Chains A and B, each alone.
Chain A
């Protein structure tokens, strides 16, 4: 615009050389000139304002400390930040950047993003919801304010309603919590969590009988039951001095399914930002547990390549190979891993187990010895060593190792079983009986396999006694 203004000036000057007509033309030229000057000034001012506003938007986009950050995270965050800079009026850009910052533990910067997103998109309940997720770590009252706002914007969002009720409870206001919970339909997916919160609110009001009534009601209606509700009722029964009822409710709790918390429908995809390997590792574990060993191995191999400084991904990969029936390959992988991580007792232990599978008992024994030097309290490794010693006919040494294994891992019933077998083999009747009693008293003894093993051991004790092998 300024360019065109300047180009007209010579033409006016040219016309001014023609008499009276010239003066009128000159007036008109002056008017035009002043109009153009005004327009020019206005345009310049607005250009400065717009420029400033753009610059303000850029500087308001939170930067993040990069020191020590994983390269992938850094690039991801830089990309998302650049998007915000390109589209500073777009709430979603801010929100995405905020979520990624939140996932990577940058709460201050994340909160700033969600607040900006809320300013740009004030009707969206997600932004105050995400802000509350950050604030609840340090300032519960401020988190409650954000949740109130989110609930006003999304009055039907049950997960917000429950969260706010829980927050009110944590702030010591059971009445406010109860008010929020009273409107939740017991036909909804939130029933169990709602009933549980109401029972807790009653206990906080020092009205344990109300907690018990809530449980009774839930039982009658057949809705809202959970293991946690029975636990809560048990505590309420204790609070009202009914020890027997409390114990029976606690027993009942063990028979109930655990509460399934209402999922957060607004928080998808945070896992996509996980670069720590935790999510991938968990997924690989799940695949292994499901018997999808090849898929698990593929994932674990990728993890091992991604984290060459960590032994666990490669170790899990080797174990997946072993599970797949390839102990030779697993042993090779484990040996290579033991060279790279000579101080890792877990690698040594699994190498020893694999060597046993391959029939190389001496090599296994050597690995277990190294393993126990690195981690002397490794009960499982010591129990394995006891087994190998017994196989090699060194029974007294085996018993000593098995006893120490029980000391190191007193809750592991299978380690107890190992000791019992060795005591049986050495004819120590009194100790066999004593150890059987101790093992039978462990909670793990209730398991099906464990019960069967106990029975088998008892049978062996009886048989040995009948033959005079055990006095």
Chain B
């Protein structure tokens, strides 16, 4: 049985199709009384994660070590349960002899526990580990895996057989041989041919062994200013030419060699409303790029024009993590980027099709972030009150003393910072949560973060990584303040999720917008499903899906009850042309 179908069968008690009928799963309803100081997350203390802490030496001061490594939540064996992937750091001599360090792969079991299948999966990272990303590159219903590292990318094709997880390293045969320091990556069907292409973000042109010191002469990690930038790479999947999973490097012909940068994050989706996927790159201490796709697959950088390259004062910032979400609930998705201490995390509010304004100050997000160095980020409704919240994990990159820093007891403690949760509110502003809980009190050199509903109970859990520490799985235990809806957007003919698909959920007069964008945050991969907190709405009227390979029209799925996971299968909804839409209101 194909994996996609198998997953549907296995999930049948919980997953409903877009027709909106069936049983509501057994999940807690809205909480009547919410304690203001209730913790949001608790550490699940996963033994299999604790056994393999991230490896980073303390005496070599190689730059990749301070950039850390990411993680992903993805359903690798198509059993309907999210699994965990955690990127290792340093490659030991014995690992190097074996082809690289093992990516930790933890398969979720039916009882919610995890089985470590890293050795069996044999996903190896060639250099100091950066990110990992799961997607189906050959439309066979299996999740394939890409890893990025300081020594290049590696692509693994899933060859599952008899319920055994197996991957084969196809990097060279896929045409992805490269030793460039790769960081973020995203799978996106940029040319609409039905096959997922690959965009790989590159960081600096790094020279290992470079010595850097702080202003007082103390040895420290080099910063991006010590090296020149590099061009990012776009690889076209040749599946349409009968070679699925073989890629052609089209960087130069697509116009992407026109500018170099020092990229760490990306967002690959249509950002100017013309229904053609665009590529946004978050650069470290250089202007961000917004590569707008024009005709014939040619991209032009319009980041500066569109107000999302630099901050309001015209200064490039040290951009690291990325998120795309409708933070102010106006139907337009906004960009949110994490940055260095002394800068703010930045909210580029979308004013209209593809035009942005740095509106961080008005959102209340500026001052609370000025003292942090933000990396992983997720914009999700954590308490289901219908308003978007933000989670940011932090950790410094320089160890010079701060205006307000406690004395550090160890090498990595000098770089450690606390995580932050910014709670969205009705007035469109965000407030930092000051709850006395472990998630916020723990001080670590945090880097990666993946968000997803690990236990399919309707709220957002987190997987976080920190340098020289074990990854942690955080279960959402916040009191619920409303209803929820989780959408899996399936491009059924291609037997895979549909990265780049945009969804609008209609509830009464409200419209909530979200996109299938697993490959955002920092070096991490979120749950590919879209999660909405619905507040008081116990149901929805309709869901519109804008498929990423269509240039007009949408597919409308009928309404249903909230508090469930719904699969939106392409072709099972009602096709609507642009001319049939009337002011966004759903016509029954």
| B36 sits at the interface (CB 8 A) | no
Is A310 interfacial (CB-CB < 8 Å)? Answer: yes
Cβ-closest chain A residue relative to B362: A172
Interface 0/1 of A68-89, CB less than 8 Å to B? 1110110000000000000000
Q: Choose the segment among A51-59, A179-187, A318-326, A402-410 that binds chain B (4+ C-beta atoms closer than 8 Å).
A: A402-410
Name the contact of B403 in the complex, choosing from A138, A235, A311, A345 (C-beta under 8 A).
Answer: A138
The stretch from A239-247, A286-294, A361-369, A456-464 touching chain B is A239-247
Inside 8 A of A408's CB, which chain B residues have their CB?
178-180
Instruction: Give A435's nearest chain B residue, CB to CB.
Output: B252
Q: Is the CB of B209 within 8 A of A344?
A: yes
Whether, in the assembled complex, A453 has its beta carbon less than 8 Å from a beta carbon of chain B, the answer is no
Report how many residues on chain A are interfacial, defined by Cβ distance under 8 Å: 69
B419, chain A: closest CB distance, angstroms: 18
Residue B218 interfacial (CB < 8 Å): yes
Kindly specify which of B130-138, B306-314, B490-498, B500-508 makes contact with the partner chain. B306-314
Residue of B nearest to A201 (CB): B312
Are A377 and B214 closer than 8 Å at their CB atoms? no
Question: Are B252 and A235 in contact, with the CB atoms below 8 A?
Answer: no
**Which residues of B in the span 329-366 have a Cβ within 8 Å of any Cβ on A?**
341-342, 351-352, 355, 357, 361-362, 366
A103-B260 contact given A235-B307, A375-B208, CB 8 Å threshold: no
Interface mask (A162-199 → B, CB under 8 Å = 1, otherwise 0): 00001001111000000000000000000000001000
Closest to A72 in B: B217
30 contacts between A and B (CB under 8 A): A68-B218, A69-B216, A108-B404, A135-B403, A136-B342, A137-B403, A138-B402, A140-B370, A166-B313, A170-B313, A170-B366, A172-B361, A172-B366, A200-B313, A203-B312, A235-B304, A239-B307, A247-B305, A275-B217, A310-B211, A312-B210, A312-B211, A341-B209, A343-B209, A344-B207, A374-B208, A375-B179, A375-B207, A377-B179, A442-B257
Contact across chains for B209 and A376 when beta carbons are under 8 A apart: no
Tell me the B176-198 residues at the A interface (CB within 8 Å).
Answer: 178-181
Contacts of B403 in A (CB 8 A): 107-108, 111, 134-135, 137-138
Residue A299 at the B interface, CB < 8 A?
no
Contact B357 A250 (CB under 8 A): no
Given known contacts A72-B217, A250-B304, is B314 in contact with A107 (CB within 8 Å)?
A: no
Q: B152 contacts the other chain (Cβ, under 8 Å)?
A: yes
CB of A105 within 8 A of CB of B216, answer yes
The interface residues of chain B lying within 8 Å CB-to-CB of A204 are 312, 357
- CA gap between A127 and B213 in the complex, in Å: 28
In the complex, are the beta carbons of B180 and A73 less than 8 A apart? Answer: no
Whether A65 lies near B305 (C-beta < 8 A) is no
Q: B400 within 8 Å of A by Cβ?
A: yes
Question: B255 in the interface, Cβ–Cβ < 8 Å?
Answer: yes
CB-based contact A138/B342 at 8 Å: yes
Are A441 and B255 closer than 8 Å at their CB atoms? yes
Contact of A73 among B216, B313, B370, B402 (CB under 8 A): B216
B231 contacts A by Cβ under 8 Å: yes
Contact between chains at A103 and B404 (CB < 8 Å): no
A411 touching B260, Cβ below 8 Å: yes
Instruction: Tell me the complex Cα distance, A455–B453, Å.
Output: 59
Q: Is the CB of A105 within 8 A of B253?
A: no
**Taking the complex as formed, is A61 at the interface, i.e. its CB lies under 8 A from any CB of chain B?**
no
List the 3 closest A-B pairs by CB distance, nearest first.
Answer: A70-B217, A172-B361, A105-B400
B166 at the interface (CB under 8 A from A): no
A106: Cβ under 8 A from any B Cβ: yes
Find out whether the CB atom of A410 lies under 8 angstroms from the CB atom of B361: no
Tell me if B357 and A239 are in contact (CB < 8 A): yes
CB atoms of A239 and B355 under 8 A apart: yes
- B251 close to chain A: CB less than 8 A: yes
Query: Which residues of B lie under 8 Å from residue A146 when comparing CB positions?
Result: none
B249 interfacial contact with A, CB 8 Å: yes
Indicate which residue in A141, A250, A345 contacts B207 across the interface (CB closer than 8 Å).
A345
| B258 interfacial by beta-carbon distance below 8 Å | yes
- For the complex, is A264 an interface residue (Cβ under 8 Å from B)? no
User: What 0/1 pattern do residues 215 to 249 of A give for CB contact below 8 A with B?
Assistant: 00000000000001001101100110100001100
Residue of B252, B313, B351 contacting most chain A CB atoms (<10 Å): B252
